[in-house]
Amino acid sequence: MSQSNWTIEQVRELYHLPLFTLLERAHEVHRRFHPEPEVQLCRLLSIKTGGCPEDCGYCPQSAHHETAVDAGKLMDSEEVMRAARQARADGATRFCMGAAWRQVRDGAEFDRVLDMVRGVSGLGLEVCCTLGMLTESQARRLAEAGLTAYNHNLDTSPSFYGNIISTRTYDDRLRTLRHVRDAGITVCCGGILGMGESEDDRVELLHVLATMPKPPESVPINALVAVEGTPLAGRPQLPVFEFVRAIATARILMPASKVRLSAGRLSLSPEAQALCFYAGANSIFTGEKLLTTSNPGTEEDLALLRMLGLRPEAPQAAVSAASRS
């Protein structure tokens, strides 16, 4: 899919349609592009936790905030492989490794991450990493190691961004995303809703995502997990219908992408999650932990999908062939 020419007015109009009109349109697009009643299960692992020099206002891993998260070292590769095998056994088809780094530094630790990418890819899983900013050559090395996707979120609109993060700019984010794209790695890029942004900020974020030279193949939509000790602790939850509107709009704007109902599901009822799936969400993280915060358990999620007549997405044919070797 190449660059789309949605205008900001068109996106705003979609977002503000009567809810059922928006849902109908989104669901129709969803059925056309994703005819199977499937939801991809992904698993997250924090391979390097806490002590991050960035000051992202939502993040429990920032060294700028006093939270219950302690800084740790880069995990051992064998331990990572154990977690990836468990994820595959639990039905996940994508494994995402996160590090609380501002940017990747060349050296022994990056070499170990490259080994982890090779190892997880060898299990037949899609492999995603989120490691902070990347140079062109680092993106190339990740691609060579077999990385499927790189997650790097824009988080919010360009105008609201400065209220949340001061240690890097929107343009820094866009630069890394370009490096990822140029290296031939698929892009995973989305945002967080419920940080105090306006409806128009949500519209702007969706517009930026949808009008990139090529839209992200994967769009994670996170509901803020308001963690104690972060500047956003105590923030009231976003009304569910705002969240659903953002998912439906994302589905219409980026029809072929995976829209991922990401962090914050513990604060969404089964009914709210069902609406999100109807609106076009077709992926979740499973397992009791995201990176540092809690998430519904796998059994609970499988029961919810069953109840809704949805099923976990099966591994792709090529991927399952790799996993038999």
62 binds ligand DTB (CB under 6 A): no
C-alpha to C-alpha distances, 27 to 21, 22, 249, 251, 255, nearest whole angstrom = 10, 8, 10, 8, 10
Which of 42, 43, 59, 168 is an active site residue?
59
Q: Exactly one of 40, 46, 61, 257 binds ligand SF4 (CB under 6 A); which one?
A: 61
- Does 190 interact with ligand DTB (rule: CB under 6 A)? yes
What sign results for the dihedral spanned by CA atoms 211, 216, 217, 220?
negative
Question: Of 128, 129, 189, 276, which residue is the catalytic one?
Answer: 128
Footprint on residues 125-154 left by ligand DTB (CB under 6 A):
130, 151, 153
We find the least distance from the C-beta atom of residue 250 to ligand SF4, in angstroms, to be: 20
Question: Catalytic pick from 42, 129, 188, 276?
Answer: 188
Binder among 14, 22, 44, 59 for ligand SF4 (CB under 6 A): 59
Residue 10 one-letter amino acid: Q
Site for ligand SAM contains 287 (CB under 6 A): no
Please, what is the minimum distance in Å from the beta carbon of residue 5 to ligand DTB? 26
Three-state SS across the chain? Answer: CCCCCCCHHHHHHHHCCCHHHHHHHHHHHHHHHCCCCEEEEEEEEEEECCCECCCCCCCCCECCCCCCCCCCCCCCHHHHHHHHHHHHHCCCCEEEEEECCCECCCCHHHHHHHHHHHHHHHCCCEEEEECCECCHHHHHHHHHHCCCEEECCCECCHHHHHHHCCCCCHHHHHHHHHHHHHCCCEEECCEEECCCCCHHHHHHHHHHHHCCCCCCCEEEEEECCCCCCCCCCCCCCCCHHHHHHHHHHHHHHCCCCEEEECCCHHHCCHHHHHHHHHHCCCEEECCCECCCCECCCHHHHHHHHHHHCCEECCCCHHHHHHHHC
Residue 276 among the catalytic residues: no
Is 52 known to be catalytic?
A: yes
Query: Can residue 130 be called a binding residue for ligand SAM (CB under 6 A)?
Result: yes
129 noted as active-site residue: no
Q: If binding is defined by CB under 6 A, does position 114 make contact with ligand DTB? A: no
315 contributes a contact to ligand DTB by CB under 6 A: no
Residue among 158 and 270 whose Cβ is closer to ligand SF4: 158
Q: Judged by CB, which is closer to ligand SAM: 96, or 275? A: 96
152 belongs to the binding site for ligand SAM (CB under 6 A): yes
Q: Which does 41 bind (CB under 5 to 8 A by kind): ligand SF4, ligand SAM, ligand DTB, none?
A: none
Residue pointed to by tokens 């996707």: 149
Binding mask 56-95 for ligand SAM (x = CB under 6 A): --xx-x----------------------------------
Instruction: Using CB under 6 A, list all residues that contact ligand DTB.
Output: 44, 60, 96, 98, 130, 151, 153, 190, 220, 222, 225, 262-263, 290-293
Q: Which residues are catalytic?
A: 52, 56, 59, 96, 128, 188, 260
Instruction: Using CB under 6 A, list all residues that contact ligand SF4.
Output: 52, 54, 56, 59, 61-62, 100, 102, 132
Instruction: Using CB under 6 A, list all residues that contact ligand SAM.
Output: 58-59, 61, 98, 100-101, 130, 132, 152-153, 155, 192, 222, 224-225, 227, 263-264, 291
